[in-house]
Amino acid sequence: MKALSAVSAFRCLGAECADTCCQGWAMQIEPATEERYRKEAPDLLESVTGPAGQRHMKRNPDTDFCVRYEGGLCGIQKQHGEAFLGDACFFYPRILRRAGEMPLMSASLSCPEIARLALREGLLSYQDVPEPPRMPQEMRSYAEPDMDGAAMMALHEALVAWALARPAEEALLDFALFAEHWERDRSAAFTRDTIMTLRSSAPKAEKLAVDAYRLAHCLSVLILASRRKAPPRLERIEQDILEELKVGVNPETFMIENKAQDFSAAQKLEAGWRAHKEVMAPVMSRWLAAQVSASFFPFGGLGAGAYERAVLLALKFAIFRLGLMAHAGKTSEANVDEAARVAQGLSRFMDHLADPALSMALYKDAGWTQLSRLRGLLASG
DSSP type of residue 93 = T
| Member of 1, 13, 48, 154 binding ligand SF4 (CB under 6 A) | 13
> Smaller CB distance to ligand SF4: residue 112 or 329?
112
Kindly state the smallest distance separating residue 58's Cβ from ligand SF4, in Å.
18
Kindly state the smallest distance separating residue 325's Cβ from ligand SF4, in Å.
26
Asked whether position 265 contacts ligand SF4 by CB under 6 A, the answer is no
Kindly state the smallest distance separating residue 88's Cβ from ligand SF4, in Å.
11
Burial 8-47 (b: 16+ CB within 10 A, else e): eebebeeeeeebbbbebbebbbbeebeebbeeeeeebeeb
CB 212 within 8 A of CB 380: yes
Task: Using the rule CB under 6 A, give the single segment among 10-18, 123-131, 134-142, 328-336 that binds ligand SF4.
Answer: 10-18
Task: Using the rule CB under 6 A, give the single segment among 16-24, 42-50, 315-323, 356-364 that binds ligand SF4.
Answer: 16-24
- Alpha-carbon gap, residue 99 to 143, rounded angstroms: 6
Kindly state the smallest distance separating residue 348's Cβ from ligand SF4, in Å.
9
Asked whether position 17 contacts ligand SF4 by CB under 6 A, the answer is yes
By beta carbon distance, the residue nearest ligand SF4 is 17
| Member of 4, 6, 7, 21 binding ligand SF4 (CB under 6 A) | 21
> Smaller CB distance to ligand SF4: residue 10 or 126?
10
- Alpha-carbon gap, residue 99 to 88, rounded angstroms: 20
Asked whether position 87 contacts ligand SF4 by CB under 6 A, the answer is no
- Alpha-carbon gap, residue 69 to 57, rounded angstroms: 11
Kindly state the smallest distance separating residue 340's Cβ from ligand SF4, in Å.
12
Q: 264 CB contacts (<8 Å, ≥6 apart)?
A: none
Kindly state the smallest distance separating residue 304's Cβ from ligand SF4, in Å.
30
∠ at Cα 356 (355, 358), nearest 5°?
100
Q: How far is CA 119 from CA 62, 127, 289, in A?
A: 33, 18, 10
Kindly state the smallest distance separating residue 193's Cβ from ligand SF4, in Å.
41
Judged by DSSP in three states, 247 sits in coil
- Alpha-carbon gap, residue 16 to 345, rounded angstroms: 17
Q: 244 CB contacts (<8 Å, ≥6 apart)?
A: 265, 269, 325, 326, 329, 330
How much of the chain is in helix, strand and coil states, percent to nearest 5?
A: 55, 10, 35
- Alpha-carbon gap, residue 342 to 225, rounded angstroms: 21
Kindly state the smallest distance separating residue 221's Cβ from ligand SF4, in Å.
26
Asked whether position 20 contacts ligand SF4 by CB under 6 A, the answer is yes
User: In which element (H, E) is residue 323 found?
Assistant: helix 306-331
> Smaller CB distance to ligand SF4: residue 12 or 210?
12
> Smaller CB distance to ligand SF4: residue 93 or 301?
93
| Member of 25, 37, 92, 299 binding ligand SF4 (CB under 6 A) | 92
Report the site for ligand SF4 in 97-116 (rule: CB under 6 A).
111-113
- Alpha-carbon gap, residue 76 to 89, rounded angstroms: 10
| Member of 12, 147, 265, 281 binding ligand SF4 (CB under 6 A) | 12
Kindly state the smallest distance separating residue 145's Cβ from ligand SF4, in Å.
36
Task: Using the rule CB under 6 A, give the single segment among 14-22, 154-162, 177-185, 357-365 that binds ligand SF4.
Answer: 14-22
Sites of contact with ligand SF4 (CB under 6 A) = 12-13, 17, 20-21, 92-93, 111-113
